[in-house]
Amino acid sequence: MRLAAVSRALVALALLSGASAHGQTWICTPDHTLGFSFDPQQGWQPTEFAITTQYEVKPISVGNDHYGVTLPGERRPRYLCGKILAKGSIRCADVLKKRQFLVNIHAKRYLHSNTAGYYDVIPGTNADQASETPFMEMGRCWKVGEEPLSPR
């Protein structure tokens, strides 16, 4: 537990110290979000979600996690990421590694997925109604200060 508190403190310190000034920040917005939702009468059904959330991918410079993904206005990252790879990709995941956020800054695209809940449920619960809805989201990213890209 103490290590987790130290990790959170380091993330907060990096965000407050202006680490984002040393790198670029990207804004990512979804084009399509597809997944499954549970209906008590019909069971699991394919669904297209109307997601309008924007994400910020920005430097946090803590250990090997060089970037983080937040919602606008949030200080604490929802996803921690590694370094930018040669092809421009950044791989990010939540702490439990059940949600991923993959960005390519050269292609200016991202994928966001949630596999939590559907198969990994708590025993003794109504698994279908208690499950999170699995989804895959795709969208566009642009550097802060650039014009947003048109949907493709």
Nearest to 135 by CA among 114, 109, 150: 114
All structural domains of the chain with their residue ranges: 2-143
Find out whether 141 and 110 touch, Cβ atoms under 8 Å. yes
Question: Following DSSP, what letter does each residue of 96-111 receive, concatenated?
Answer: TS-EEEEEETTTTEEE
Whether the Cβ atoms of residue 60 and residue 15 lie closer than 8 Å to each other: yes
The pTM for the full model equals: 0.74
The whole-angstrom separation of Cα 32 and Cα 48 is 8
Q: What is the pLDDT of residues 102-150, one digit of tens each?
A: 999 999 999 999 887 677 666 666 666 666 788 999 999 999 988 776 6
Burial 11-49 (b: 16+ CB within 10 A, else e): beebbeeebbeeeeebbbbbeebebeebeeeeeeeeeee
pLDDT of residue 5: 43
pLDDT band at residue 66 using 50, 70 and 90 as cut-offs: confident
